[in-house]
Amino acid sequence: MATPHVFTYCVRFAAATVKPNSVKAESLAGWHQSQTVCDKGERVAGLGIADYLGAMTPPTLPQASDLPASGSVLGVDVGFSQTRRSSAVCRLDWNAEQVSWTIQRFRAIPAEQQATIAVVAGQVQLQAAALDGPLRAGFDVIGRYRTAERMLTRRLGAKIGKPGQASVPIGRQLNAAANDCANIVLKQGHLAPAMHEIRIDDRCIAEAFPSAFLGVLLADPVAVAARRKDRSDTFYRHLAENGALVRLVNVLLPRRRLSVPFESVTKHDDRAALICALTALCVATGDFTAVGDADGWIILPPRRIVQDWAWQDLAANTENEVSGCLYQSLP
C-alpha cells in the first residue's frame, strides 16, 4: 500500500471556477491556482490541494461521464462480533443497461473477513470502496471525538441519530475493525486510484455512515416514525418505498434499471453494506458532500439531493468548527 497523505487542513467547497475535467494531471501550476470559498462568501486565491500532498501529482477530478460504462464499487458494513455475522460486504455493479449487487455477511474473524471480502470483491477493478467505521489517513487509532462526528450530532442528531464517538471504547473497537477491513480491501490490489480532493489514501477508499447518508435524504425525518434501534432500517424502507433510492441511482448512473428492487434487501447488515456501496459510488462519480477534517471525512449524498433542512443544519454547525469542515465536491 502506498504511503497515505495526511491532510492538515479542511476544504469548505470545491472550486466553482475550476472545471474538474479541465484539470490535467500534468498541470501542477493550474491546480495551484484553484480557488476556495471563504465562510463569508468572498473569493480568495488559494493554494491547491497539491501543496498539501507534497510531491503527489494532482489528479483529474472524476465526473459521472468519466466512469467506465461497466464498473463496480464496494461497500463494507463493519462489525466486530466474532460469533455473529454482523458484518457485510456488498459489490455494486453496473453496465450500460442495469445496476445489480451481491452481498455476503461475515464475522470479525481475520480469515473469514479476508475470504468473504475477497470472494465478493472478486478480480474486477473497483472504482471505489466505502466502509462504515471511523477511518483517517494512515488507518491508525483515532481515539478522539472527531469533527465529522460533531457535525452530524449537533442539530441533526435529534432528527436522524448521531454517529458514535471514536473516543469511547465501542468507538475504538469499531475504528480498529474498520482499519482491519480497510487494509484487507487495499491489499486486494484492485482498487482504483483516489481522484477526489479529500482522499485519505492513494487508493479510492472512504468512510460511510449509512444512518446519516439516508437521514439527510428524508424530506421530513420527524414524520418518519423511527426508533433508535431500527432507525437506519426505517429510513431505508421509507426511502425505498418513496423512490428516493432509485432517484439517487439515477443521479449517479443515469438511464439504467435496477436488476432487483431495493425493497428486496431486508436484513439490517445487508442494507447497511448496500448503502456503503452507494456511498462509494458517490465518491467514484465525484458527486458527493462530506463532513470532517484531518481525522477523517464522512461521505454524504450529492448536494442536489441532500434536503435543504439538513444542509442548513450542517452549515449552521460549521460555526462551531474549523473552517472547511463541510465539503461539497461540485458547485
Phi, psi at 229, each rounded to 5°? -75, -20
d(CA 322, CA 13): 14
Other CB atoms closer than 10 Å to residue 31's CB: what's the count? 22
Give percent of the chain above pLDDT 90.
76
Q: What is the mean pLDDT of residues 199-213?
A: 98
Q: Which one has a higher pLDDT value, 328 or 14?
A: 328
Per domain, the residue ranges of the chain are: 62-328
Amino acid at 154: R
Give me the chain's average pLDDT, please: 84
Give percent of the chain above pLDDT 70.
80
pLDDT at 53 over 90: no
Beta strands in the chain (DSSP E): 35-37, 43-45, 71-77, 87-94, 98-106, 129-132, 205-207, 257-258, 289-293, 296-300, 326-328
- The per-residue pLDDT for 40 is 30
Helix runs in the chain, H state only: 28-32, 110-121, 147-151, 157-160, 169-187, 210-215, 231-241, 244-252, 268-285, 308-317
d(CA 90, CA 325): 29
Residue 35's pLDDT band (cuts 50, 70, 90): very low
For the record, the C-alpha cell of 101 comes out as 449487487
- Taking only the tens place, the pLDDT of each residue in 272-296 is 999 999 999 999 999 999 999 999 9
- Taking only the tens place, the pLDDT of each residue in 75-133 is 999 998 999 999 999 999 999 999 999 999 999 999 999 999 999 999 999 999 999 99
- The per-residue pLDDT for 175 is 97
Q: What is the pTM of this model?
A: 0.83
Q: Are 209 and 152 in contact (CB under 8 A)?
A: yes
- The per-residue pLDDT for 162 is 94
Amino acid at 124: V
* β-bridge partners, 233: none
The 3-state DSSP class for residue 201 equals coil
